[in-house]
Amino acid sequence: MPSVRVGVIGVTGGVGRTLVKQLQAQAPWLASRGVNFEISSVANSKKMAFQVPSTDRLDWSSLLQQGEPLDTQSFLDSMKPRDSDQHCLVFDCSASEAVAQLYLGALHSGIHVITPNKRLTSAPLEYCKAVQQAQWHCPNGSPRPHGQAKRVLYEAAVGAGLPIITTLQDLLSSGDEVQSIQGILSGTLSHLFNSYGPGQSFARLVQDARAQGYTEPDPRDDLCGMDVARKVLTLARECGVAMELGDVQVESLIPADMPAEMSSEEFLTSFSQYDSVMQHRLEQAAAANRVLRYVGCVDIPNRTCSVALQEFPQDHPFAQLSGTDNIVSFHTRRYSPQPLTIRGPGAGLEVTAAGVFGDFLRLLRSLGYAV
């Protein structure tokens, strides 16, 4: 019997397939620590499969082509623990709201959830709280027995592999008080503004970011600011601020007159017609010897969150980033006047999958494994 049964939603996507490769590469080490896992169910947006051969040379798309049409409830049912000693875990590597809506049922069925999907922590607050509660409480409201928690972990939803959520949770749980959080929280937008220069096509840079695996499945989610809005909302809620996604003030980088009814491919082609709009903003900033950066802010005392394109002087830490770097500063009672700052690549398949893997290790530790 494997000690951990694993299901992967989004196995044909960039993060899903990279995560599985990382898990397979580390399988001998995990086995040496007593963790034998089995990937028993996989799915993408159309199909699911329950007979997964145990080889590390699988073509997930071909396997799924021969699978059954996706029925997410049946997928979760297949993942239910067969007895109380079995640990079952679903990795949700989609960006689907519908999948995030299933987490509550998954926890109630005894299945742990690990995800880089932001659709849980930016869902309506009531649902988000219900899922958090379900980790520690049975469906009838009674506390789960000691050692029987069913966890939902989402470190990679903010900053990919950077330890942002766990750091914030540790600050708060150890009694610190967060006053504000400020940062560059999009790997895509960081990459764009770190590389963007006079005469360059902004739309071409977006296409490049997509090809590198940095963007959301639909890059408009990055450009309209909602990806960053979801991240700042996640951080604000960790601090106890009861806000909804609609309360975040968002500056979109998508021109208002662009039609919404387009495929992401059509959007990327049409977006180049608007290159002069961003070039103008760049010229304005450069005239004042400043750079453009897309920044998210959480103001705890005032209970506000905002995300916007701002200008910064050349010597500001936000102007010193490169590649997909994220940077986030926690201004707290203990970390004052100097904030606690975390910086590093904040998008990309390997680092994101590594962030999800980190949550897997945290879960295994909480289950008593020496990993």
Ligand X SMILES: N[C@@H](CC=O)C(=O)O
Question: 327 pairs with which residues across the strands?
Answer: 184, 343
30, 156, 162, 226: residue in contact with ligand NDP (rule CB under 6 A):
156
224 binds ligand NDP (CB under 6 A): no
* 3-state helix/strand/coil string of 63-88: HHHCCEECCHHHHHHHCCCCCCCCEE
Question: 215 pairs with which residues across the strands?
Answer: none
7, 13, 67, 225: residue in contact with ligand NDP (rule CB under 6 A):
13
Residue numbers annotated as active site: 231
Residues in 248-307 at the binding interface with ligand X, rule: CB under 6 A: none
Nearest Cα neighbor of 193 from 206, 181, 180 is: 206
The tokens for 268 are: 């990327």
Is the distance from CB of 359 to CB of 93 less than 8 angstroms? no
The one segment of 30-38, 143-151, 171-179, 211-219 that binds ligand NDP by CB under 6 A: 211-219
The one segment of 10-18, 23-31, 276-284, 301-309 that binds ligand NDP by CB under 6 A: 10-18
Sign of CA dihedral 209, 213, 216, 219: positive
117 binds ligand NDP (CB under 6 A): yes
40, 186, 234, 352: residue in contact with ligand NDP (rule CB under 6 A):
352
For residue 46, say whether it is annotated as part of any ligand binding site. no
At closest approach, how far in Å is the CB of 334 from ligand X?
28
33, 46, 80, 334: residue in contact with ligand NDP (rule CB under 6 A):
46
80 binds ligand NDP (CB under 6 A): no
For residue 16, say whether it is annotated as part of any ligand binding site. yes
- Nearest to ligand X of 43, 228 (CB atom): 228
The one segment of 88-96, 122-130, 237-245, 284-292 that binds ligand NDP by CB under 6 A: 88-96
At closest approach, how far in Å is the CB of 130 from ligand NDP?
20
For ligand X, the nearest residue by Cβ is 188
16, 161, 339, 346: residue in contact with ligand X (rule CB under 6 A):
346
222 binds ligand X (CB under 6 A): yes
186 binds ligand NDP (CB under 6 A): no
43, 113, 295, 321: residue in contact with ligand NDP (rule CB under 6 A):
43
First to last CA, the chain: 19
Residue ranges of the annotated binding site are 10-16, 118, 216
Binding site for ligand NDP (CB under 6 A): 9-10, 12-16, 43-46, 70, 93-96, 98-99, 116-118, 156, 160, 187, 213-214, 216-217, 347-349, 352
Residues near ligand X (CB under 6 A):
160, 186-188, 214-216, 222, 227, 346-347
